[in-house]
Amino acid sequence: MKQFNKKLWLATPTMHDDGLDFVVEAFRTNWMSTVGENINEIEKMICQKVGCKYAVALSCGTSALHLAVKLAGVKPGDRVFCSDVTFAASVNPVLYEKATPVFIDTEYDTWNMDPAALEQAFKQYPDTKVIILVNLYGTPAKMDEICAIAKEHGAVIIEDAAESLGATYKGRQTGSFGTYNAISFNGNKIITGSSGGMLLTDDREAADRARKWSTQSRENAPWYQHEEVGYNYRMSNVIAGVVRGQIPYLEDHIAQKKTIYQRYKEGFKDLPVTMNPYIPDIMEPNFWLSCLLIDEEAMCEQLRTEKTASYVPQPGKSCPTQILEALERHNAEGRPIWKPLHLQPIYQQSPFVSVEKDVGADIFRRGLCLPSDNKMTAEQQENVIQIVRNCFE
Ligand SMILES: *Cc1c(COP(=O)(O)O)cnc(C)c1O
């Protein structure tokens, strides 16, 4: 096992030379603002790709989620059902609006919101009207089940497809299942603008409101006239130029990520581990990040406090902490699974709904994200596989 000379990252931007033209064009023509052709073009391109009617280009995925939460009519004190194992950005907008997240536990088939727990949550909090649903690491959630439950209870879905652009469920693109949907072009996502995001919807009026809110809520008047609070959330035409150069490569990036996932799967097939799962007959992830889950029987003792981690090495066994430390020693970046939000100090007061056991906590304890960069060579990946295998000796 070699140490990597150059750090091997989890996921970094993969740029293509012909993408630079749109950025240069914006510069040369002085369209260095939050209006311009790049913005108009990428809104059209994403609508076409995802199959939604309207797209509003914004400064980031979090601002898209914030406007989605506002469009869904979330008011201070309201409850919002939220995916639990996810990046904090999925839920921060609920707090911006002074509402209360209720975290819904995870299932083992896709690592997303458990329909059974969601059903349970509606029994406990029947007046809840909004669900924030994440497709974790690029794998679609159980859409049929969750959409049916939402419909039955008259609740609106906000789909957080920030990690899953290009993934499909029964042939339909993620980012199209919610009434309001968010995608992200953050630097480590499957395609990037260095930053940026979009709100997607089929509701024309909603798209218009979001566009207005994102540009400081100017009314249609001869002067700056304001009737409601505004935000400076619109995307820059320069960023949009970067995104415009990336969109044509989305499918290539997905193919590269899938190859990485399959190589790991093959490389670990005789180890007591599984990869982050999906349901092959009904979904095709974008394979944004490849993750491992260690079998319970093969877990060595691991101790995690609020801010530290340690473990006791044991022959034939390992744990995420050991593997992450081994990767770091070899100059490669791994990452723990998102720590469930219901276990975060900031959300101590928020309810958590689960059936039987806490699945999110279990996946957090036994799982980790592996280096998944598009530019990783087969040779480099073989080295990563050896580093992991060595942890189980
Ligand atoms: C990245 C991410 C976001 C936020 O996107 P930004 O563009 O970074 O604001 C939201 N939700 C999830 C699940 C993400 O991974």
Query: 153 Cβ partners below 8 Å, 6+ apart?
Result: 122, 126, 128
Ligand 1: which of 113, 159, 181, 184 to mutate, judged by most atoms within 8 Å of the beta carbon?
184
Q: Which of 148, 145, 147 is nearest to 157 (CA)?
A: 147
The C-alpha atoms of residue 102 and residue 291 are separated, in whole angstroms, by 26
Does the beta carbon of 60 lie inside 6 Å of ligand 1?
Answer: yes
pLDDT at 356: 84
Are 332 and 11 in contact by the 8 Å Cβ rule? The answer is no
CATH of domain 250-390: 3.90.1150.10
98 CA to middle of ligand 1, Å? 20
Domain ranges for the chain, please list them.
17-249, 250-390
331: left (phi over 0), alpha (psi -120 to 50) or beta: left
Token pair recorded at residue 387: 């580093």
Residue nearest (by alpha carbon) to ligand 1 atom 1: 162
Ligand 1: which of 66, 87, 341 to mutate, judged by most atoms within 8 Å of the beta carbon?
87
pLDDT at 384: 98
Are 341 and 82 in contact by the 8 Å Cβ rule? The answer is yes
Q: Which of 165, 156, 116 is nearest to 137 (CA)?
A: 165
pLDDT at 1: 81
185 CA to middle of ligand 1, Å? 8
Does the beta carbon of 197 lie inside 6 Å of ligand 1?
Answer: yes
Does the beta carbon of 162 lie inside 6 Å of ligand 1?
Answer: yes
Query: 128 Cβ partners below 8 Å, 6+ apart?
Result: 78, 79, 80, 81, 102, 121, 122, 153, 155
Ligand 1: which of 160, 165, 174 to mutate, judged by most atoms within 8 Å of the beta carbon?
160
pLDDT at 348: 92
Are 215 and 194 in contact by the 8 Å Cβ rule? The answer is no
Q: Which of 104, 184, 181, 183 is nearest to 145 (CA)?
A: 104
Token pair recorded at residue 86: 């996810």
- % pLDDT > 70, the chain: 100
Q: Which value, to the nearest 10 degrees, does the dihedral of the CA atoms of residues 305, 309, 312, 314 take?
A: 120
Nearest atom (ligand 1) to Cα of 197: 7
pLDDT at 2: 87
CATH of domain 17-249: 3.40.640.10
pLDDT at 283: 98
Alpha helices for the chain (secondary structure H): 20-28, 37-50, 61-71, 92-96, 115-124, 143-152, 204-214, 237-246, 250-267, 320-329, 359-366, 378-391
- In sequence order, what DSSP letters do the residues of 130-160 get, joined into one string? EEEEE-GGG----HHHHHHHHHHTTPEEEEE
Residue nearest (by alpha carbon) to ligand 1 atom 12: 162
In the predicted model, residues of the chain with pLDDT beneath 50 are none
296 CA to middle of ligand 1, Å? 30
Q: Give the global pTM.
A: 0.98
Are 343 and 261 in contact by the 8 Å Cβ rule? The answer is no
Report the DSSP pairing between strands 180-184 and 156-160.
parallel
Give bridge partners of residue 158 from the DSSP assignment: 132, 180
The C-alpha atoms of residue 336 and residue 323 are separated, in whole angstroms, by 10
Residue nearest (by alpha carbon) to ligand 1 atom 14: 162
Nearest atom (ligand 1) to Cα of 188: 1
pLDDT at 260: 98
256 CA to middle of ligand 1, Å? 21
Using H for helix, E for strand and C for coil, what is the string for 294-350? ECHHHECEEEECCCCEEEECCCCCECHHHHHHHHHHCCECCEECCCCHHHCHHHCCC
